[in-house]
Amino acid sequence: MKTRIVVTLLSLSHFLMVFAAWSQPADKVLINARVWTVDADLPEAEAIAIRDGSILAVGPAGEIQAHAGPDTRLIDAKGRLILPGFIDNHTHFTDGGFQLQRIDLRHAQTPEEFAGLVGEWARRHPGRWITGGTWDHDNFPGGDLPTRQLIDPYTPETPVFVRRYDGHMGLVNTFTLQMAGITSETPDPPGGQIVRDPETGEPTGILRNAAMNLVTRLIPEDTMEDLVNATRLALEEAARNGVTGIHDMSSPEDLQAYQYLHRKGELTARVYAILPFSHWEHLAAAGIRAPFGDDFIRVGGLKAMADGSLGSSTALFFEPYTSDPSTRGLATDVMGDGRLEKWAMAADKAGLQPVIHAIGDSANSRILDLYEQIIRENPGHDRRMRIEHAQHIHPKDFRRFAELGVIASVHPYHAIDDGRWAEGRIGHERCQTTYPFRQFLDNGVIMSFGSDWTVAPLSPLLGIYAAVTRRTLDGKNPGGWFPEQKITVEEAIKAHTITSAYSAYQEGLTGSITPGKRADLVMLSGDILKIDSVEIRDTRVVLTMVDGKVVYREE
């Protein structure tokens, strides 16, 4: 008798489930899939039902297909892996759109090739500023920095400002130095350096950090139409790479472009716009707290820089550079004059989120000191303070990251890029805790992933490949550069999805394939959880979905 009652109740429950599904059928059902949800309550599934841009149900195929109605679109995954959409925790997004239209020097292997590319660009675009570049002098034999003399013959009356790929150093020609009034007598600005010939004292054309501002102020500003068009190109690149959300190091003008595209229904990635720290008073006066906005555009994070980069020898270390014992790197002007400390204390008190760039071990330690002071002196709230890049960590500071709840916002592709030459800059010992992904996780640190595009490709799959293999781009470390810092594919996916969502206060909205969350999904050509990790670099995105809409499908 009891058995019959239980069976009857189960049958009634199944009938009600089917009736509810048919009364509110799904818009789309993805079937025949291997779904890795990044949701601990249901890690794997076979199908997903979507309605009105939200995930309606996740589970076994038979159960989910009950949500299909006569007008439901069925999408056959053909056994492929589906993951939550990737969230990139650090982009220079509109810059990326512009870079797609500008000179690309990244793969120049010799100074002569570098100069030839500049000359060809000048020939095809006479009289126009040459900007962009993303060059890498470590590709050159000997690794010497380029100089103005290298490009002067090709650009006698063409203004040139091309950045190193990390954005912390740029090259200008003699014509541009003259435009800017930079001579051997020009002093280095706070937080910057005009590199000079050691024999003549004349500028070589290389400007580091704040010294670049002496030239960038001369470059004509982009129009709003330019910004919008560049953002459209960047959104196409994001969709192609499975990026459904970005944390963007934005300007107010970038934010206007995002809002314009949002109103037009053209914004195909969620944006957490992180504005310059100098704007904190404007946000606080408006009563904005992190996060503020809707499902597609939010604000509340504030970006500042504590130091420079390793490649330009401006990252700030406790000990001198092995390659140049005369320097330990450069603190930025706002770090050196105390403004950053004042801004961060006040912004946190106002409920805004500090997002601070720190690369060298000293810079990271000083920012941890600042965050510890903030926690000690300010009232408590849901603060999610971040350190961007967190590349080189002194061993004493791993536990401090965890104890303070500071998010390590890291960019794993840099490890296989910088790993080609980093030991030459700072030596073997310091590199043992460089890009220390395993050590972060083993110490309980909250670690999220991103690309730092345009410094690195806007490709989460390449980032995951870098984190799990640590195989440097020069092919010299097939077993991994400092392989003890490798992490698993599962850990890397989590860092690029739910943890990146958390670091922008969005874990309730996206970051996992969970009923009630928005349907941001990516389908891959290969199962990165099963294939040899080396093959991840050749895996492709075949479908990207944002808010239940397909924004990219591989042809």
pLDDT tens for 378-391 read 999 999 999 999 99
CB of 445 closer than 8 Å to CB of 401: yes
Residue 315, CA distances (Å) to 44, 116, 377 in order: 42, 31, 28
Tokens representing 168 are: 């912390």
d(CA 389, CA 93) in angstroms, rounded, equals 17
pLDDT digits (tens, 9 = 90+) for 18-69: 455 445 899 999 999 999 999 999 999 999 999 999 999 999 999 999 999 9
**Which candidate, 22, 162, 179, 48, places its Cα nearest to that of 102?**
162
Asked if CATH classification 3.60.15.10 holds for the domain at 94-216, the reply, yes or no, is no
Neighbours of 62 (CB within 10 A): 9
When pLDDT is averaged across residues 405-418 and rounded to a whole number, the result is 98
CB of 356 closer than 8 Å to CB of 304: yes
What is the per-residue pLDDT for 61? Answer: 95
Q: How many residues does the chain have?
A: 555
Query: Which pLDDT band, with edges at 50, 70 and 90, does 555 fall under?
Result: confident
Residue 323: pLDDT above 90?
yes
Sign of the Cα torsion 133, 138, 139, 142 reads: positive
d(CA 256, CA 267) in angstroms, rounded, equals 12
- Looking at residue 338, its amino acid is G
What is the per-residue pLDDT for 23? Answer: 59
CB of 59 closer than 8 Å to CB of 532: no
Terminal CA-CA length for the chain: 58
What is the per-residue pLDDT for 167? Answer: 85
* Percent of the chain at pLDDT exceeding 90: 92
- Looking at residue 464, its amino acid is I
Tokens representing 85 are: 């959409």
When pLDDT is averaged across residues 8-14 and rounded to a whole number, the result is 48
Tokens representing 531 are: 């294939």
CB of 277 closer than 8 Å to CB of 250: no
Strands 47-51 and 28-31: antiparallel
What is the per-residue pLDDT for 1? Answer: 44
Model-level pTM? 0.87
d(CA 24, CA 300) in angstroms, rounded, equals 36
What is the per-residue pLDDT for 8? Answer: 45
CB of 178 closer than 8 Å to CB of 214: no
- For the chain, domain boundaries: 2-82, 94-216
**Which candidate, 35, 87, 36, places its Cα nearest to that of 495?**
87
Query: Which pLDDT band, with edges at 50, 70 and 90, does 165 fall under?
Result: confident
**Assigned CATH for 2-82:** 2.30.40.10
Query: Which pLDDT band, with edges at 50, 70 and 90, does 6 fall under?
Result: very low
Residue 393: pLDDT above 50?
yes
The 549-553 sheet, strands edge to edge: 44-45, 34-36, 81-84, 521-524, 541-546, 549-553
Burial class (CB in 10 A: 0-12, 13-18, 19+), 200: exposed
Tokens representing 33 are: 């899939």
Tokens representing 472 are: 């440097």
When pLDDT is averaged across residues 306-310 and rounded to a whole number, the result is 96
When pLDDT is averaged across residues 168-191 and rounded to a whole number, the result is 95
d(CA 383, CA 401) in angstroms, rounded, equals 14
Sign of the Cα torsion 319, 323, 327, 331 reads: negative
- Looking at residue 408, its amino acid is A
pLDDT digits (tens, 9 = 90+) for 421-469: 999 999 999 999 999 999 999 999 999 999 999 999 999 999 999 999 9
Query: Which pLDDT band, with edges at 50, 70 and 90, does 285 fall under?
Result: very high
d(CA 162, CA 215) in angstroms, rounded, equals 11
SS3 43: coil
User: Mean of the per-residue pLDDT values for the chain?
Assistant: 94
- Bridge partners of 355, per DSSP, are 303, 386
Determine which helix (DSSP H) or strand (DSSP E) holds 416, and give its type and residue range.
helix 413-418
What is the per-residue pLDDT for 21? Answer: 46
When pLDDT is averaged across residues 282-305 and rounded to a whole number, the result is 97
- Bridge partners of 193, per DSSP, are 208
Residue 487, CA distances (Å) to 153, 460, 472 in order: 48, 15, 15
When pLDDT is averaged across residues 70-86 and rounded to a whole number, the result is 97
SS3 157: coil
Q: CB-based contacts of 92: which residues, under 8 Å, 6+ apart? A: 167, 248, 249, 452, 453, 454, 455
pLDDT digits (tens, 9 = 90+) for 85-120: 999 999 999 999 999 999 999 889 999 999 999 999
What is the per-residue pLDDT for 286? Answer: 96
When pLDDT is averaged across residues 208-228 and rounded to a whole number, the result is 94
Residue 244: pLDDT above 90?
yes
d(CA 471, CA 537) in angstroms, rounded, equals 11
Determine which helix (DSSP H) or strand (DSSP E) holds 65, and give its type and residue range.
helix 61-65
